[in-house]
Amino acid sequence: MHWSKLFIPTLRENPAEAEVVSHQLLLRAGYIRQLSAGIYSYLYLAQRAMLKITQIVREEMDAIGAQEMLLPVLHPAEVWQESGRWGVMGHDMFRLKDRFGRDMCLGMTEEEVMTTIARGELRSYKQLPQIWYQIAAKFRDEPRPKSGLMRVRQFIMKDSYSFDLGPPGLDESYDKHYAAYCKIFDRCGLSYLVVEAFSGAMGGKQSHEFAVPSDAGEDYIVQCPNCKYSANLEKAVSRPSEPKQPDVEGDHTPEEFHTPGRKTIAEVSEFTKLPETSQIKSLVMVADNRPVLILLRGDHQLSETKLQAELGVTDIRPAHPDEIRQWFGAEAGSLGPVGVRNMRVIADEALKGRRNMIGGANRNDYHLRNVTPDKDFKPDYHDLRQVMSGDPCTQCGGSLELIKCLEVGHIFKLGYKYSESMGLRVLKEDGQEVAVIMGSYGIGIERILTAAIELYHDKDGMALPVTIAPFTVVVTPVNYSDEGQRQAASNIYQSLLDLGIDALIDDRDERPGVKFKDADLIGIPYRVTVGKKLPKGIVEVVNRRTRESTDVAVDDAANYLCERLNPAS
Ligand code: ATP
Ligand code: MG
């Protein structure tokens, strides 16, 4: 390709709206343009990079025997109603009506459609196992689309689905995906962690997340530096750290005291001169329309995901102020468990065995001291809190760390959720019907690109891995109007193409500084500079990431690069 003919609209300045590096660079390097919030056009360079990523994904999926298909993005509501997810997906689902007023939606994921195909066609155990996949657009009306391509409302996902006769078969399909995902992310040049994850709205049993450590991410992973334990924050468990101050001994009776204007845990802590760990935090949540009182240690945070899983509900939200007033006769900030009879009371396990703590009195501006769980109120205990950095590991006692990450892939054992709700059964060898067991596996194609940019960039631009960069080599004649340079550059460019190397020639009539800056910005892994050393028969090969520059004989340049790019051959 000749740069002078291409549409690569690079920008000199960082666009004001972009906060994270990958967003800034994708705009500056002319990869993408925004159409609307969370909706982007992928211009030439982005599309080339995305095609390279999808090709890697495709090769590794094909290698585990997965079969590529292409399913509709436009779905009738019925299939989602059958699985029960029409009511669960809430505002994340783009919904519309056709001309007859029938409910439709845009696919967020394709379990329903895949199951519809399978139940119509799979009859016998002899047809199993199957792995079906596609690489296609998904639509999600994300509440906070931001950070460029990291969280968008339309994106490309590789989604695959496995169909097996029983749990051992599912384990095998799952393990194949696990291994294929490692190969995919390795080939895309990412460094990543694989952690246990919560299966969320997919409704599964076992799940792993593939995540790239990055400050630009929105996910947290908990890791023990001591043992192998690691998990997504939504699912991670810990032992609670010791309370900062031991509890007062003895069976004291709850006693009201005046706390004028003190509402938050921090304010009450300051007022009482007792650490936050000595307080009971009371949160009122509404789970599937029923109130529950949630109790945590003052310094702990609720994990809504754990709570939702524990309660087995589909919808959960904090109670509104007027609901709280109606149920407690007091406002948030003065709430506590003593005397609460009109709702379920659930406490985090860190409150078990504690005594003589501080809690709200259910009377504005009053708190109680000497509140003891199991004596003054009787909660159900569950693990409901988010792990905090420094908490002891449940496995080895090591000090847990929180790492910010960007999720790039996710695999789930679905079990029988869809085959049972939608009626996907086959005949076993003995003639009996059985439900098919399923798995579901996703990779975000844009996420791979953004993660790579977040991992590999410097102040001048992207430094993409060879495997996913839109071009592998840019040949840059410093002065294109110089006949000798033009000829030498064209020869190198042609030799690179002949060797199967994805090359670009910068034939623009621009100053060298502009050409170098643009090449650095768009992240081409190697640059061949044809310039002042040419009269001595020398060109320079520059590695974008290391900045290492090597003098190479003009006739050897293409072969030199070929050896670097394919060290094994
Ligand atoms: P997240 O927690 O980031 O919202 P998710 O758990 O909703 O992700 P899945 O439903 O498991 O994601 O989708 C599979 C993959 O699709 C994710 O691992 C991620 O790489 C990608 N993905 C999901 N949502 C988006 C989005 N809004 N924009 C871009 N990629 C996405
Ligand atoms: Mg999501």
In tens, the pLDDT along 492-502 reads 999 999 999 99
Tokens of 342: 């009109």
Which ligand has the nearest atom to the CA of 407? 1
With a 6 A CB cut-off, is 151 part of the ligand 1 pocket?
Answer: yes
Ligand 1: distance of its center to the CA of 399 in Å?
A: 29
* Claim: this prediction has a pTM higher than 0.85: yes
With a 6 A CB cut-off, is 348 part of the ligand 1 pocket?
Answer: no
With a 6 A CB cut-off, is 158 part of the ligand 1 pocket?
Answer: no
Atom of ligand 1 nearest to the CA of 209: 18
- In percent, the amount of the chain with pLDDT more than 90 equals 91
Which ligand has the nearest atom to the CA of 209? 1
pLDDT surpasses 90 at 196: no
Tokens of 189: 């040049």
Question: What's the confidence (pLDDT) of residue 267?
Answer: 96
Q: What is the mean pLDDT of residues 147-159?
A: 96
Atom of ligand 1 nearest to the CA of 412: 11
Ligand 2: distance of its center to the CA of 335 in Å?
A: 33
Beta bridge partners of 425: 435
Q: How many Å apart are CA 198 and CA 236, to the nearest integer?
A: 9
Report long-range pairs for 122-127 (Cβ below 8 Å, ≥24 apart).
Answer: 122/163, 122/424, 122/426, 122/436, 123/426, 123/427, 124/426, 124/427, 125/165, 125/426, 125/427, 125/428, 125/429, 125/434, 127/426
pLDDT surpasses 70 at 160: yes
With a 6 A CB cut-off, is 38 part of the ligand 1 pocket?
Answer: no
On whether the CB atoms of residues 501 and 561 are closer than 8 A, the answer is yes
Ligand 2: distance of its center to the CA of 338 in Å?
A: 38
Q: Ligand 1 pocket check: which of 234, 447, 453 to mutate, most ligand atoms within 8 Å of Cβ?
A: 447
Q: What is the mean pLDDT of residues 404-431?
A: 95
Instruction: Point out the least confidently predicted range of 222-236, 379-393, 450-464.
Output: 222-236
With a 6 A CB cut-off, is 412 part of the ligand 1 pocket?
Answer: no
Q: How many Å apart are CA 197 and CA 3, to the nearest integer?
A: 45
DSSP 215-265: TT-SEEEEE-SSSS-EEETTT---PPPPPSSPPPPS-PPPEEEE-TT--SH
Tokens of 438: 């399923």
With a 6 A CB cut-off, is 103 part of the ligand 1 pocket?
Answer: no
pLDDT surpasses 90 at 124: yes
Q: How many Å apart are CA 564 and CA 487, to the nearest integer?
A: 24
pLDDT tens across 23-63, in order?
A: 999 999 999 999 999 999 999 999 999 999 999 999 999 99
Ligand 1: distance of its center to the CA of 181 in Å?
A: 15
SS (H, E, C) 462-483: ECCCCCCCCCCEEEEECCCCCH
Helix (H, G, I), strand (E, B) or coil at 551: strand
With a 6 A CB cut-off, is 155 part of the ligand 1 pocket?
Answer: yes
- Where residue 375 falls (left for φ over 0; alpha for ψ -120 to 50; beta otherwise) is alpha
Beta bridge partners of 151: 146
Amino acid at 9: P
Helices (H) and strands (E) in the chain, counts: 13, 31
pLDDT surpasses 70 at 224: yes
With a 6 A CB cut-off, is 442 part of the ligand 1 pocket?
Answer: yes
Ligand 2: distance of its center to the CA of 233 in Å?
A: 15
Atom of ligand 1 nearest to the CA of 442: 14
From the CA atom positions of the chain, what is the Rg in Å? Answer: 29
Ligand 2: distance of its center to the CA of 276 in Å?
A: 33
Question: What's the confidence (pLDDT) of residue 202?
Answer: 47
Ligand 2: distance of its center to the CA of 143 in Å?
A: 10
Q: What is the mean pLDDT of residues 98-108?
A: 98
Q: How many Å apart are CA 171 and CA 563, to the nearest integer?
A: 40
Question: What's the confidence (pLDDT) of residue 354?
Answer: 96
Q: Ligand 1 pocket check: which of 407, 412, 443 to mutate, most ligand atoms within 8 Å of Cβ?
A: 407
With a 6 A CB cut-off, is 411 part of the ligand 1 pocket?
Answer: no
pLDDT tens across 272-306, in order?
A: 999 999 999 999 999 989 999 999 999 999 999 89
Question: What's the confidence (pLDDT) of residue 154?
Answer: 98
Rounded alpha-carbon distances, angstroms, from residue 490 to 276, 471, 544, 560: 70, 16, 21, 16
With a 6 A CB cut-off, is 407 part of the ligand 1 pocket?
Answer: yes
pLDDT surpasses 70 at 534: yes
CA nearest ligand 1 atom 12, residue: 410
Residue 146 DSSP one-character state: B
Ligand 1: distance of its center to the CA of 444 in Å?
A: 6
With a 6 A CB cut-off, is 367 part of the ligand 1 pocket?
Answer: no
Q: Ligand 1 pocket check: which of 153, 410, 413, 440 to mutate, most ligand atoms within 8 Å of Cβ?
A: 410
CA nearest ligand 1 atom 18, residue: 409
Question: What's the confidence (pLDDT) of residue 206?
Answer: 87
pLDDT tens across 321-334, in order?
A: 999 999 999 999 99
With a 6 A CB cut-off, is 157 part of the ligand 1 pocket?
Answer: yes
Angle formed by the axes of helices 44-63 and 167-187, to 10°? 140
